[in-house]
Every structure is written in structure tokens, then in C-alpha cells.
Structure 1
Amino acid sequence: MPEILGSFCLVLHSHLPWVLGHGIWPHGTSWVNEAAAETYIPLLQELYKLIDDDYHPKLTIGLTPVLCEMLRHPSFINGFLDYLDEKVGAALHDFDDFTKNKYEEGRIRLTKWWEEFFERTRDDFLHRFNRDIIGAFKKLQDMDLIDIITCGATHGYCPLLSKDTSIDAQFKTAVDNYKHHFGRVPTGVWLPECGYRPGYRWKNP
């Protein structure tokens, strides 16, 4: 029997600051809309595809409290659908423009690729995931197919939080938020920016 040298754990971490109500671009809703369309939903699509093919994903993903709250906020859900419609419309416009002006074939095909991508994203968001990205991840965890961990409540950088009560509040709030969204206590946590306070005596900067 071959010697076991160690273990490998695939851990994905996801976080965005609160951007709802802060305009559209570059640090407003376009940020979370783009992340949902081009990261979170494609990841869910691939995970569910693996499961359909009888594979166990075997990964851990960190979803921060701020991100969970945003992705379940009504203004995100409604705005995200508008964003997807806008992207489909832009792809259709580019197709007509590129075809009319005789652009190279590769660029014309690319417009169709993006049209199909955003239409598929919208369809899965509406019908497969029931407008609930967090709920789609929760379902996978409830099936024991992935592990979801939490993070500091506001993604605060712990070494710069001078009071222990502030650090305690970050993680107590995170646990409460996790129980609200996932119906259980988290089994792990991602330290914001992987930052921790040294074990030796030190002075807060």
C-alpha cells in the first residue's frame, strides 16, 4: 500500500463589500452582479453538473456574512435580473453591429457566445436556483456534498482590531448570521485576509 504523504483540502473563499445602494460602476451593484453572473452561478452550475455525473465535489467554500446578506437582498435579486437582460441586449446589439460592419467571424461568434452565456445564467438563476444563490449552496451542504464556512462579520482585519471584544463580536455575529442562512453552526472559518494576531507579546500599530 503506498505511503500517504498528506491531505489536500480545496478551500474557496468569496467576499465582497456591501455595494448595494452605492451606485452602479465601478464599485456599486455592477461589482456584485458581475461576480454573481461570472463566478457564483458558474461555480454552482459546475458543482451540480458533477453531482449529475455521480461525482462528489469535495470542496469547502467560504461565504462571508456580508456576501450572504447581499445575495439574498431583494434589491440584488431584482437588479441582477435587469443586469442579465441588459447583457443579453448588449450581445444582440453587438451581433447586429458586427455583422452589419463585416467584422471578423471570430468577433461575431463571440457575441453569440455571450448572448447564450447570459441567457443560460438567467434561466438557471430563475428556474434551477429559484433566485437564491445562497440557497443553492445550502442545498449542496445539506446533501453533505460541500462544506460552507464563514468569516468575520464585516471581513475586518483582526490584527488591527485592538480590543478582544471587537474580535469576539466579529465572529459571534458571523456565527449568528451563518445559522440564519444555513440552519446550523459553521464547522470552520476563514480569517479575513488570513490575518491573525501573533502569539508573542506585541504592540498594536
Structure 2
Amino acid sequence: MDTTVGRRERKKAATRQTLHEVALRLAAEQGLDRVTVEAIADAADVSRRTFSNYFANKEEALFHADLVRIRRLLELVRARPADEHPWTALSRAAEQLTAASDYLDPLWLAQRRLIRAHPSLAAYQITVYGTVERELTAEICRRLPESPEAPLRARVLAAGFLNALRAATQHWIDHPDRPLTELVHDAFTYLTDR
């Protein structure tokens, strides 16, 4: 039974990844405005219904890899020791996440370029990051001593962290001469310098 469940989950993950990659490829080749859910489903050789089982729309399919990375970041933060200072937990989790990202994945790079070219995708990205920011805020709040200031402090820490991570990543895409891990470390240092 466990083998069947494992195989089924792997097949679902592979289908989701294929749909994501096809969406990116089609958007890069044809332009985002010309890509439809039907075109993605056809190119991936699945039905429209199958596409809908995995993604609500083409934007969600395009952002799949980002969401996976962000979810992984949240897992890494949650796995840090409960008594660790929030900023330390955030930075160490980011270091773990970025340690494996010292090369520019062509699919991910294509996605970044699409986002720059299409304001509608930037709006979708802001929505996704807003959801993550709320989850991260809740995790940080659990790590802070209870006080009336804790919710605001947690929100500011989460927003600052995510924006520094985003800025370092964007800089890395534009100037890939240094490892992403170093740039993220520098960005966090700039935030904590007084």
C-alpha cells in the first residue's frame, strides 16, 4: 500500500512539474498573453480537467517552482530550534535554501524575466508573497516573547526578511558573478547594521 501511495504522489508531482515547465516554455516562446490553459494542457498531453486538478490558472502553473521554494523556506524556518532568535532562524533557513542555488536554472531565469515583462504576473507574485508573509509572521510571532508589540514586530521582520531575500535574488539574476548565498548574507547584514 505504501509503495502505491508513494508512486501515486510521485506521478502527481511529475505531472505538476511538467505542467509548470510547459507553461514556462509556452510563455517564453509565444508570450504570456497568447498562452491559455488549453494550450498548456494540450502541449503537456493532458486534459483541461487534469490541468485544473493541479492548478487554478496559468499564473499558478507559472509560479509553481517559486511556491515550492517558498514553502521549503517556511519548512526550514519551522525546523529551526524554537528558542532560536527569530532573525537567526530566518537567516539560517535562507542560507540552507540558497546553498543549493549557486547556478542559474534556465527555467527559473525565464520565469523571472517573464515577471519583469508582465505587470499582471507581478501582481500575482505579490499575492503569493503576501500569503507567505502572513505564515512567516505567525511563525516569527511564536518565537517572540508575548507582548503588545510582538505582532507588529513579527510582521516587520517577515517583510524585511522577504524583501531582502527578493532583492538579493534579483541582484544575483542581474549580476551572477557571486554566489547567491553570499549576496543573501550581505543583504541581511545591511538590514541589521545600525
Smaller-chain TM-score bracket: 0.3 to 0.5
Q: Which structure carries more relative contact order (alpha carbon 8 Å, separation 6+)? A: 1
User: Which structure's CA Rg is the greater one?
Assistant: 1
| Structure with the largest fraction of strand | 1
TM-score by length of 1: 0.33
After TM superposition, the score normalised by the length of structure 2 is 0.35
